[in-house]
Amino acid sequence: MKMNRRQVLGSAAALLGGALAPNDSTAWGAPKPRTGRIHIGAQTNIFGVPIKEYDALLEILDTLAGLGYAGFETNANSLKPHFDQAAQCRRDFEARHVRLVALHNGATLYPKEKIPADIEALRPVASASAEMGAKHIIVSDGRLPHTNGKLDMDAVHVWTEGMNKLAEAVKAEGLQLCYHNHQLEFEDDPSLMSFLLKDTDPKLVMLNFDVGHATGWTDTAAFSREHFRRIAIFHLKDERIGPDKKRIYTPLGEGQANLPGVFAPLLNSDWEGWLEIEEEQTYPKPAADPEAILKRDREYLRKVTNA
């Protein structure tokens, strides 16, 4: 049966998880070619955390390059012993045609007394990251205090102000701060993520949106559609959520993350940033066959995003 234009567009929208149909530029601006603006990377934690030997890290980069990945992210502890050789590290990465996207760090932005020391501890990480070729630095934090089952608003205010100050500090080193979510940023109502978006400076604080951790707590496609301009890096994993909120990891595209819906605004706009695989089924231990998993994931991204 021949479909009319409206039926074709409706079918395309359904395939994208309810997002706008491909090439509809009314919400996102005219789409631009994906080559050169959508970059594919991988977190190294599938090989173990941290990567203890530098030569092992370089072997991982050779593997990533062979699989078609353009960048890598790793735990800051993987490279801290080599901060005094940052320029050489950059040359080593460039020789393998795999760029350092960011180092991932823990942050402690509450209570207020801890913020100055935490910022000073992250300055040398930011400086070395920039010298190694990174444009971003990623931080994640723990749970804030609650009062009567609700987020403590004084703590939230301290936390968001601390995030702005940290972002200013790493900007002085030449990097963009990206905040990496876990599920805790979406658990409350109103959520910590809502305050992060509202009370931090969008010119200073971008998001590293972990789609897997958000699955089951928010509509990931809707979140991407509304906030993709604030997201510099996506962490990609897929999973099914059981009745008891237990997470069962699945291959990309086989779980509940609605990745096509997440990708829709990125593919059909001028968005530029990183789509990064972050497989962590065996975290912090390495997977039995990391290369096979990353090959499968890269093939999925190539098929779904044409990038």
Contact 58, 92 (CB under 8 A): yes
What pLDDT tens digit does each residue of the chain (307 aa) get?
A: 434 433 433 333 334 443 333 344 456 877 888 889 999 999 999 999 999 999 999 999 999 999 999 999 999 999 999 999 999 999 999 999 999 999 999 999 999 999 999 999 999 999 999 999 999 999 999 999 999 999 999 999 999 999 999 999 999 999 999 999 999 999 999 999 999 999 999 999 999 999 999 999 999 999 999 999 999 999 999 999 888 878 899 999 999 999 999 999 999 999 999 999 999 999 999 999 999 999 999 999 999 999 9
Contact 89, 57 (CB under 8 A): no
Quickly list H helices, the chain: 5-15, 54-67, 86-95, 115-131, 153-172, 184-187, 192-199, 211-214, 220-227, 259-267, 290-305
Distances (CA, A) of 78 to 26, 52, 53: 43, 6, 8
pTM: 0.91
Token pair of 36, please? Answer: 């050169």
Count of all residues that appear for the chain in the document: 307
Angstrom distance (rounded) from CA 218 to CA 215: 6
Angstrom distance (rounded) from CA 12 to CA 262: 14
Angstrom distance (rounded) from CA 255 to CA 246: 13
Per the listing, tokens 């400076």 go with 201
In this structure, is the dihedral angle defined by the CA atoms of residues 283, 289, 291 and 295, taken in order, positive or negative? Answer: negative
Angstrom distance (rounded) from CA 231 to CA 180: 10
What local confidence, expressed as pLDDT, does residue 10 receive? 38
Contact 119, 171 (CB under 8 A): no
138 beta partners: 104, 178
Angstrom distance (rounded) from CA 55 to CA 35: 31
Domain ranges of the chain: 36-305
Angstrom distance (rounded) from CA 200 to CA 304: 33
Contact 91, 131 (CB under 8 A): no
Residue whose C-alpha is closest to residue 40's, from 264, 292, 295: 295
Phi, psi (deg, nearest 5) at residue 70: -100, -15
For 36-305, CATH gives 3.20.20.150
Per the listing, tokens 């190539």 go with 302
Angstrom distance (rounded) from CA 176 to CA 166: 10
